[in-house]
Structure 1
Amino acid sequence: MKKLQQLLGITFVIFFICCQQQKKDFSGSKPINSNDFFAAFPPINLPVTIADTNINSFSDTTSIGLKAMEQFIPDSSVIPYSFNKKAVVHPVGSIQKAKEKYLLANFTIKNNTHLVVYVFNEKNQFMAAKELVTMKNNDGYFHNVYINKEPTFLISREKYSSDKKLLYTRNGWVYNNGNTFMIAMSDGNENTVKNNTIINPIDTLPQKNKLSGNYVKNSKNFIAIRDGKTPKLYHFFIHFENSDNCTGELKGTLKMINEEKGVYKEIGEPCGIEFIFKNNEVTFKENGKCGNKRGIQCYFDDTYPLQKKHKAAKKK
């Protein structure tokens, strides 16, 4: 009898533990306890470096629904990374400080992942958010974020130039009491090392279609438009530099949706550009988050006139 009672007691303890460890429902179909939500983000050992090449290896296997995220974070800070609410969210980890808590999460769709940090105060109230690194930038740079114990988020990009010189830009971001992220330090050599001549990577592509050509304000502010696979598709390359030494550069394909308007938007890419072709000019405007394609204090937003094509001299 005593052995039977011991066996029943052990069975009850095992059953109780299993019930306690039962997998939580993070789909968002029903309210989630805040303690359970924050516990889904394990502590991160700092310092740590997360790169665009290994971003997914930091994800936890737990999947969190967008509706669950929106129970604790305003949808305005979730939707930009949800790509029409089709993203899969995985917790990366948490950083606990005296007055703030930082949650890092990966948003993944169509083999592209965005790492985002969210800040909460002592009462677990949402305060700010910032994208840290993206898997697919398609700009020729290697991207990463280094997080120290403060924490400062040192976001870097680097690549080797054609003459084997390392070009880099590094910005250290910190959360401040104004409920936003700000740059605490900046370092780089691209402005001094980069050649003054801007290389147009699509310059040799054909430009026979109606809107193809070079739309130029000056040598450092221009858009090259080239023929795509169909008359409604065009390849483009934008480069701009403003008076504050803020630069932007983007290469992609735009689709014409009517005679004057074209749009650039790729699946899994938060950056979007709207183009209006009218009176031999192109006006372009940022329609999305293009922060990894330009400087912090400038945007894709300007109008450039069509450059007249030089006619080839006739042979006598």
Structure 2
Amino acid sequence: MKRFLLLLLAIGVLAACKSKKKSGKGDEPMTFEDFQALFTPGNLPYKLTPDTLQLKLADSLSLDTAAIKFLPDTLTKGDFTRNEPVKYFPLQRIPGSVVDYMTVKAAGRAQSVGYLCFLDKKGKYMSRIRVANTGSADGTLMSLQIDSKNVIKISSEKRLSGSRSALREDFYMVNADGTVTLIMTNSNGPTNAGQIFNPIDTLPRKHKFSGDYTSGDMSIVSIRDGEDAKSFQFFITFSKDNGSCKGELSGKGHYLAGNRGEYKDKESSCGISFQFSAGRVNIREIGGCGAYRGIKCFFEGGFVKKAEKKKKK
């Protein structure tokens, strides 16, 4: 009987030690397996909304420095004041097709922010993006949705006058190195003629075909240098029929013989053909790109190259 009681006591002590280690509050060094166990397992599709971030979590669930070492010191850079106390809470860990995901909540004095962290298949942290919040200084709310095909949608909604609001939806694909590529943007917010957000605008444009090709105020084909002379990066956005039909697509293409270029989407049948000539580019779809545009319009037509502004000496 005495041996039996000692055995039960030993099991209880071991269980308590194990629980203490996994809490992130103990003095024992935390392994990545312990850190990962702090997050609730989940699967795609996944959503993270401002309402979820507003839920009060017990302080005992927050991550301590033993757990934070698996995340970078710059996780919340730019979102909170320098000396503001911030508490971090583990939310979910989700396996993806290219990378794995972890979501973290950072709670400050005035707002809570959600971050989507990317880890490779060996558990190494690569990068993060800000995906949700409970309200920024200008009143903008952000939310996250990842569909079953690993397409990331970040929605930003800003209250305007009266009951009006402006909604912007940015769609991204995640790459194996933890970077993301913008593939489409939907917005019902006010836009000014001639003002287009170009995510590749600052990239090099030394190749003879690199530059911006336009057709009207709100349609552009932007070409930038690739990793080598046979590849290029592009961004296409267009608005037709007074804004009733829009499309947006970005990616990496490659040059073919005869002043031609081609892009094929790895996630769908979408493809774009580029035909370059003196100061022009003509594009057309060579596959179904309906996921990136309206139903009644296509990625097609001619665009004229804009003269590049000369830098002042």
Q: 1:73 aligns with which of 71, 77, 95?
A: 71
Q: Which residue of 2 aligns with 1:54?
A: 52
Secondary structure, counterpart of 2:195 in structure 1: coil
Residues 81 and 38 of structure 1, relative CA distance in 2, 3 Å threshold: farther
- Please tell me whether residue 243 in structure 1 is matched to residue 242 in structure 2: no
Q: Which moved more, 1:16-25 or 1:98-107?
A: 16-25
Residues 99 and 28 of structure 1, relative CA distance in 2, 3 Å threshold: farther
TM normalised by structure 1 equals 0.51
Q: Which residue of 1 aligns with 2:228?
A: none
Long gaps (5+) in structure 2? 199-313
Deviation of the 1:113 alpha carbon: 1.1
RMSD: 3.4
- Please tell me whether residue 39 in structure 1 is matched to residue 69 in structure 2: no
Deviations 1:265-312 (A, max 9, x none): xxxxxxxxxxxxxxxxxxxxxxxxxxxxxxxxxxxxxxxxxxxxxxxx
Contact 2:141-2:158 within 8 A present in 1 as well:
yes
Cα distance in 2 for partners of 1:66, 1:79 equals 17
Residues 6 and 77 of structure 1, relative CA distance in 2, 3 Å threshold: closer
Long gaps (5+) in structure 1? 197-240, 247-316
**Number of residue equivalences:** 196
Secondary structure, counterpart of 1:144 in structure 2: strand
Deviation of the 1:148 alpha carbon: 2.5
Contact 2:139-2:159 within 8 A present in 1 as well:
no
Deviation of the 1:161 alpha carbon: 5.3
- Tell me the amino acid that sits aligned with residue 38 of structure 1: Q
**Identity of paired residues, percent?**
20
- Tell me the amino acid that sits aligned with residue 71 of structure 2: I
Q: Which residue of 1 aligns with 2:7?
A: 9
Cα distance in 2 for partners of 1:18, 1:67 equals 18
Residues 82 and 91 of structure 1, relative CA distance in 2, 3 Å threshold: farther
- Please tell me whether residue 169 in structure 1 is matched to residue 168 in structure 2: yes
Cα distance in 2 for partners of 1:50, 1:5 equals 51
Contact 1:29-1:68 within 8 A present in 2 as well:
no
Contact 1:66-1:89 within 8 A present in 2 as well:
no
Cα distance in 1 for partners of 2:27, 2:18 equals 20
Deviations 1:39-92 (A, max 9, x none): 2112135434322243142867522235742x3334344544564363211111
TM normalised by structure 2 equals 0.52
Secondary structure, counterpart of 1:19 in structure 2: helix
Residues 188 and 99 of structure 1, relative CA distance in 2, 3 Å threshold: closer
- Tell me the amino acid that sits aligned with residue 13 of structure 2: F
Cα distance in 1 for partners of 2:184, 2:127 equals 19
Cα distance in 1 for partners of 2:10, 2:177 equals 51
Cα distance in 2 for partners of 1:59, 1:73 equals 20
Residues 6 and 140 of structure 1, relative CA distance in 2, 3 Å threshold: closer
